[in-house]
Amino acid sequence: MKKDTIAAISTGMTNSGIGIVRISGDEAFHVIDKIYKGKDRLKEAESHTIHYGFIIDEEETIDEVLVMLMRSPRTFTGEDTVEINCHGGTYVVKRVLETVIKNGARPAEPGEFTKRAFLNGKMDLSQAEAVIDVITSKSEYALQSSISQLKGSVKNKIEDIRKQIIYHTAFIETALDDPEHIEIDGYGDTLKGVVENQKAEIWQLIASADSGRIMKEGIQTVIAGKPNAGKSSLLNVLAGKDRAIVTDIEGTTRDILEEQICLGGLTLNMIDTAGIRNTDDIIEKIGVDKAKDYVKNSNLIIYVVDASRPLDSNDKEIMGLLKDRKVIILLNKSDLNTVITKENLKEELKLVLEENFAEEIPMIDISAKEEQGLSEFEETLNEMFLNGDVSFNDEVYITNIRHKAALTDAYKSLEKVLESIENQMPEDFFSIDLMDAYESLGSITGETIGEDLVNEIFSKFCMGK
């Protein structure tokens, strides 16, 4: 890695109150001394202090600033670091950065500050990847999961498993090298119990990936129902704005409307579809076909039923699309005289779907117009996807696809160890597959990963982070 001094704008490029230009590297203090004018000599100042003054480009004053000084190793990157807090106008922040670069720093590459933190041992790779997840978090659960990983939840869990693996691998290798002094007969029985426990721990992490993905990426959610059931009204209420056109005319929504909504700490990537019904209108029919396709590919179907009107053939067709899917049924228009009850609807569902599946579908009375029943919907959503309350104190959630793949590889390697034990293979077969599992897990923390993959991971970071 290049060890020269780098600089970048670390705040968003919008006109705001404050902009921050970050400098990191051996020459960071030398660079700031050349462009700073104030009563203090920054090169001699104590670490973790803030100084008031001006940024100067030769004889021209660029801006009035506060400069924060942080000396190695107690910094984010582990290097000498300077942060210039200037006024947040787009032009003035760029001028400050240009002045910094002109006087000895070079522009940082995307994610290079965090990459240096990783390479300098300030964090492992799973923590470094959590940094970008914190930045891109779109819900409370996504943020808390990312913070948990940033604190080392994944790192600690992986390190514990790897310590056990390397201990038993080392014992086997030592015993094979010195059979006169170390007895290894029957060690397979001891190792079997250890490997089964490790497999169970890894499987628990793999199993958490579905919940982790939902926390991070959100739930692909489709609102389905026949025309005028109140789908668009529901979208508007949940979005907190008039996102969709609402009228008494059937078939108003003909295309797909998408909106990202945060509800109960989760993100819903919500899609409002055309009302599903038989129609001769060519344009509306295209919308109906699209609606059916989205229903088939969603994580969650919100089936909105107009409880003020009897069920008809369109409802029966929609019910047929619900088979083996995650579904929440909302009986809308509870503020009117309703003609459909939960019991009626459940009986109709049993005629179309398997009885056990129909029994398990949650049903909630709501009024999108009066905004009633939405808190129960929120609670049901949480129970369905995250099994109620989520604690990040002792539970680890895998949110990274790369981590899940590495865990899966490690799991398969441990399965091979058990097969070798079962088939009474020589002990050196055990250590080969144990080391494969050890290496796979090490790729999560970054201990067994190539430079090319490191570069690829950090290239996805935003500039200045």
**Statement to judge: residues 111 and 163 lie in one domain:** no
Confirm whether 457 is domain-assigned. no
Task: Extract the tokens encoding 125.
Answer: 């790779």
Q: Can you give the CATH number for the domain in which 369 is found?
A: 3.40.50.300
Residue 259 has pLDDT above 50, yes or no: yes
Q: Is 350 exposed, middle or buried (0-12, 13-18, 19+ CB in 10 A)?
A: middle
Q: Which of 288, 246, 298 has its CA nearest to residue 268? A: 298
* Residues of each annotated binding site for Mg(2+): 232, 253
- Among 122, 141, 173, where does a domain finish? 122
Residue 384 confidence (pLDDT): 85
Confirm whether 464 is domain-assigned. no
Residues 13-61 have pLDDT tens digits of: 777 889 999 999 999 999 999 999 998 888 889 999 999 999 999 889 9
Task: Pick the more confident residue, 210 or 398.
Answer: 398
Residues 121-148 have pLDDT tens digits of: 999 999 999 998 898 888 888 888 899 9
Host H or E run for residue 188: helix 187-207
**Statement to judge: residues 137 and 118 lie in one domain:** no
Confirm whether 213 is domain-assigned. no
Mean pLDDT for the chain overall: 87
Residue 253 confidence (pLDDT): 47
Host H or E run for residue 459: helix 451-459
**Statement to judge: residues 240 and 330 lie in one domain:** yes
Residues 74-117 have pLDDT tens digits of: 999 999 999 999 998 899 999 999 999 999 999 999 999 999 99
Confirm whether 1 is domain-assigned. no
| Range(s) of the domain holding residue 170 | 129-208+397-446
Task: Pick the more confident residue, 463 or 283.
Answer: 463
Mean pLDDT value of segment 313-322: 86
Confirm whether 203 is domain-assigned. yes
Confirm whether 82 is domain-assigned. yes
Confirm whether 465 is domain-assigned. no
Q: Is 251 exposed, middle or buried (0-12, 13-18, 19+ CB in 10 A)?
A: middle
Q: Can you give the CATH number for the domain in which 60 is found?
A: 3.30.1360.120
Confirm whether 26 is domain-assigned. yes
The total domain count for the chain is 3
Q: Can you give the CATH number for the domain in which 159 is found?
A: 1.20.120.430
Confidence at 282, pLDDT banded by 50, 70, 90: low
* Residues of each annotated binding site for GTP: 228-233, 247-253, 272-275
* Residues of each annotated binding site for (6S)-5-formyl-5,6,7,8-tetrahydrofolate: 22, 83, 122, 465
**Statement to judge: residues 192 and 230 lie in one domain:** no
**Nearest-angstrom CA–CA distance, 204 and 200:** 6
* Residues of each annotated binding site: 22, 83, 122, 228-233, 247-253, 272-275, 465
- Among 366, 386, 406, where does a domain finish? 386
Residue 245 has pLDDT above 70, yes or no: no
pTM of the model: 0.79
**Statement to judge: residues 231 and 379 lie in one domain:** yes
Q: Which of 22-26, 183-187, 287-291 has the highest mean pLDDT?
A: 22-26
Residue 272 confidence (pLDDT): 82
Residue 12 confidence (pLDDT): 80
* Residues of each annotated binding site for K(+): 228, 247, 249, 252
List Cα–Cα distances, 434 to 37, 197, 438, in angstroms: 59, 14, 6
- Among 76, 98, 122, where does a domain finish? 122
Residue 251 has pLDDT above 70, yes or no: no
**Statement to judge: residues 292 and 422 lie in one domain:** no
